[in-house]
Amino acid sequence: MPVPMRVCAGRARLCALKALRLKPSSRRSGPVLLGLLFVLALLFTGLPRAVAQEPPYFVAYSTAMEEPGNLEIAFKGLAASPKNANAFMSHTLELEYGATAWWTTELYLQGQSTSNDSTVFTGFRSENRFRFLPTEHWINPVLYIEYENNNEADKSLMEIVGHDSIADLQLNNSSTRPEIERELEGKLILSSNAKGWNFSENFIAEKNISNEPWEFGYALATSRPLALAGSSRACTFCRQNFTAGTELYGGLGTSHGFGLEATSHYAGPTVGFQLPHGPDISFSPQFGLNDNSTGVLWRFKVSYEIQQFRDWFRRGGAR
């Protein structure tokens, strides 16, 4: 159901603060504290880490795969204050493993905290990405397959498909939590790298395992490091450690009604920072482009890549 007017237009900062200022609840602090502990652990850990190749996208995927044997642990957050709904914060813990150079597998554990409501665990997702061409081309394809077992309280907005809209965020957790959705999702990921720029295009098809129509969506993104050549000095705030880009994504209706009618769309800048010998940090304010969209989605991600994790299980150890 389309909801008129944007929520946070012109009040972006206020909305973000409101979204983050969650009222206390008996079960609320768990995931937030867990996330903070995770970030601190990453900052101070002495584990060997690698620089991830991935551009700082939140919804779109590039064809960059996890390097074989590496394990990336990431915390993804999303804060928003939709119109006529309580502010919320979504938490996602992501474990990404490079099984081979052409196969990356991921597990997501998800939850959310809604102001004046509750904190709930919403479910999990398991995804696999397959790169099936052996060499680079102007456009490189990757096949993405995901199984999702989430309840309808999920507010991670990891993709927008079908007629997803702000109305989905206006329901109480108590009414959405009992509704379990089991979905299969496929993506065709296309990506190009030229002169330091990355251009990525994703076409999304999602199907609830029950008798519901296919839902479609898209995500487009581009990014570039602020400097293309590496510095000869070890430095933290070198331009090469920063990447900036933009992201645009939204729904394309269903197999019963393909198109832009009653769909929501978002766009925004995105910035990534690779802290040398530390985690990667990404941030993006993403703005709703029509009345069906939430005004602003504040997204952030902290990720840490443990290099050659599988060597830990080989004779002789990792180091």
Partner 1 sequence: MKRRFAAASLLLLSVALVITSQSWASQGWLSKVPAADRARVNPYAGNAEAAAAGKLIFEDNCAKCHGDDAEGRHGRPSLRSQRVAHATDGELAWILRNGQAFHGMPSWSSLPEQQRWQIITFLRTLPTDSKSHTR
User: Which residues of the chain form contacts with partner 1 (CB under 8 A)?
Assistant: 48, 50-51, 53-55, 62, 64-65, 67-70, 98, 100-102, 130-136, 140, 143, 193, 195-196, 198, 225, 228-234, 240, 276, 307-308, 311, 314, 316
Alpha helices in 142-219 (DSSP H): 173-176
Q: Least distance (Å) from partner 1 to the CB of residue 96? A: 14
Question: CB-wise, 55 or 162, nearer to partner 1?
Answer: 55
Question: CB-wise, 4 or 195, nearer to partner 1?
Answer: 195
Q: Which residues contact 209 (CB under 8 A, 6 or more apart)?
A: 182, 183, 184
Q: Least distance (Å) from partner 1 to the CB of residue 15? A: 33
Q: Least distance (Å) from partner 1 to the CB of residue 125? A: 19
Kindly write down the DSSP assignment for every residue of 222-266, as one continuous string.
EEEES-SSPPSS--SS-GGGEEEEEEEEEEEEETTEESSTT--EE
Q: Least distance (Å) from partner 1 to the CB of residue 51? A: 4
Question: CB-wise, 136 or 179, nearer to partner 1?
Answer: 136
- Picking from 83, 78, 50, the residue whose alpha carbon sits closest to that of residue 64 is 50
Question: CB-wise, 5 or 235, nearer to partner 1?
Answer: 235
Q: 229 with 39: CB under 8 angstroms?
A: no
Question: CB-wise, 121 or 309, nearer to partner 1?
Answer: 309
**Cβ atoms < 10 Å from Cβ of 181:** 18
DSSP H or E stretch at residue 273: strand 265-274
- Amino acid symbol at 234: A
Q: Least distance (Å) from partner 1 to the CB of residue 35? A: 26
